[in-house]
Every structure is written in C-alpha cells, then in structure tokens.
C-alpha cells in the first residue's frame, strides 16, 4: 500500500479547532437567548415537551419515552411532571423566564405539565390550545346502489 502521509497543522488552524471545543454548553446559550415558547404535545400514547427560544429554535426537549417510561405509563400525568423536571435539569436551573405555552393533543398529561411548569418558577404569559380539530371532516362516501 505504501507509506501514509502525516499532515501537521499550523498554529492558526489549531486555534480554529479550539473554538469548537471551547464552545459554551447549550444551557449557557439558552440563558443568553432567553426562553420564549414551550410546546406540549400530549397524545394517548406519549407526552413530548419542547422548549424553544423566541424565534422558535429548539433549545431542549424531552419525552416520557426518553426518560424510560414504557407502555401506558408514558401518557400519565406523573410522567408529564417528570418530563418538566428533566427539562429544567437540562437547562441547568433556568427559571423565572416568561414563556408562552402551546398545548396540542388530548392526552392526560397536558394539565399536569402546565402545573409543573408553574411550580418550577416559569412566568406564563399565555396558554394556547393548538389541537387540530376538523371542521366538517372528509367527504362522505357515495350511497351504495343495489
């Protein structure tokens, strides 16, 4: 095969790589940007909570499945409160932020997640239900001719 060529980097290239290594963690970046929105998606099978900044860029997320809940336990109010606690832990104690909450779905974890956010010290400026509701549904099939 032959000999392998070894390439050495100059000092400038080493400094560029150091910027990526010394990048602040996501929690520090979240504190600088500020939290703006919390999306709660609660279905019959799972509860997913996403924290985003004011522009809508995702800062952190967690779900009941990612915390180790399995089966029907994922859609319980207890799991929803544990998700919020895990998100606050991920954010390294960010609280007192003003947030808007967008709730989607019909699961049992939606109310518990909102209560847990209040207990963690978030100032809630608004709660909006964005569950998709059909206005009239799909077109009915033709009547059968016999």
In sequence order, what are the beta bridge partners of 39?
A: 50, 102
Q: Does the predicted model carry a pTM greater than 0.85?
A: no
pLDDT for the residue numbered 27: 57
- On whether the CB atoms of residues 131 and 105 are closer than 8 A, the answer is yes
Look at 135 and 28; give whichever has higher pLDDT. 135
Task: For each of the domains in the chain, give its residue range(s) and CATH number, in order of start.
Answer: 24-129 (3.30.420.80)
Q: Mind listing the pLDDT tens digit for each residue in 82-127?
A: 999 999 998 886 766 889 999 999 988 999 999 999 999 889 999 9
**CA dist., res. 112 & res. 40, Å (int):** 11
The predicted-structure confidence for 45-76, as pLDDT tens digits, reads as follows 999 999 998 888 999 999 999 999 999 899 99
């Amino acid at each position: 095969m032959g000999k392998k060529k070894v390439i050495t980097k100059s000092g400038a290239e080493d400094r560029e790589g150091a910027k990526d290594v010394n990048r602040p963690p996501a929690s520090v970046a979240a504190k600088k940007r500020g939290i703006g929105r919390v999306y709660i998606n609660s279905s019959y099978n799972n509860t997913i909570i996403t924290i985003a900044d004011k522009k809508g860029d995702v800062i952190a997320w967690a779900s009941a499945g990612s915390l180790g809940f399995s089966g029907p336990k994922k859609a319980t109010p207890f799991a929803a409160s544990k998700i919020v606690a895990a998100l606050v832990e991920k954010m390294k104690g960010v609280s007192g932020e003003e947030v808007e909450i967008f709730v989607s779905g019909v699961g049992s974890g939606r109310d518990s997640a909102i209560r847990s956010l209040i207990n963690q010290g978030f100032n809630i400026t608004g709660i909006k239900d964005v569950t998709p509701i059909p206005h009239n549904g799909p077109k009915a099939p033709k009547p059968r001719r016999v």
